[in-house]
Chains A and B, each alone.
Chain A
Amino acid sequence: KQEVTQIPAALSVPEGENLVLNCSFTDSAIYNLQWFRQDPGKGLTSLLLIQSSQREQTSGRLNASLDKSSGRSTLYIAASQPGDSATYLCAVRSGAGSYQLTFGKGTKLSVIP
């Protein structure tokens, strides 16, 4: 059974800092890995999708990497802003039929002005 772990559970940084969020998964037989952002009481916004054959994806100040063999992904946020404050969820798509999307418990990020 796929298990996804996110470290740290919470992170507080001053505005302008670069930061890294970590995600690890136990079964390397994945189809893709997706990073989401969730604001309190809101839905999930997809940030980046990395296919199993890819090593990284970039969107603006965000960069996500994937090392499938070691079961790890990182989300790098450059020049953090207060508006980046949210919970970041890592989710892995795997399993027979490919309908299994396994989530980590998330990292709650606070960017202090």
Chain B
Amino acid sequence: DTEVTQTPKHLVMGMTNKKSLKCEQHMGHRAMYWYKQKAKKPPELMFVYSYEKLSINESVPSRFSPECPNSSLLNLHLHALQPEDSALYLCASSHVGQGSSYGYTFGSGTRLTVV
């Protein structure tokens, strides 16, 4: 299995809703990432998990709450989002290692629309 699987593919939510994005990989990667991508822009890093522990939080608002329940799963819990949070949310994974020469594998993304 060489894929990162993201669900759902599309999500429309109101500003008072609570929803979760899910990401799964079975490549034995111990680093997992959430990225946010706005239209016509490159992906921006949100969170990094290494060995199931949060290692990087790029000053993301608390209405985004990541969770890594095990080495294969990564969730992003959403609450009280704003319309400007509408974007493509990408999950990625990679091997870990200081000076790692491994590449990243990205999922197909969740298109989120906040109304």
Contact = CB atoms under 8 A, between A and B. Distances in A.
**A and B are partners in one complex rather than unrelated chains:** yes
Interface of A: 31-32, 34, 36, 41-46, 49, 51-52, 89, 91, 93, 97-101, 103-106
Contacts of A49: 103
B103 A41 contact: no
A101 B33 CA distance: 11
Interface residues of B, number: 28
Nearest to B103: A49
Interface in B65-115: 88, 90, 92, 97-109, 111
Contacts of B45: 100-101
B43 interface: yes
B103 A44 contact: no
Given A43-B90, A43-B109, A89-B42, A101 B98 contact: no
Nearest to A4: B42
B42 A32 contact: no
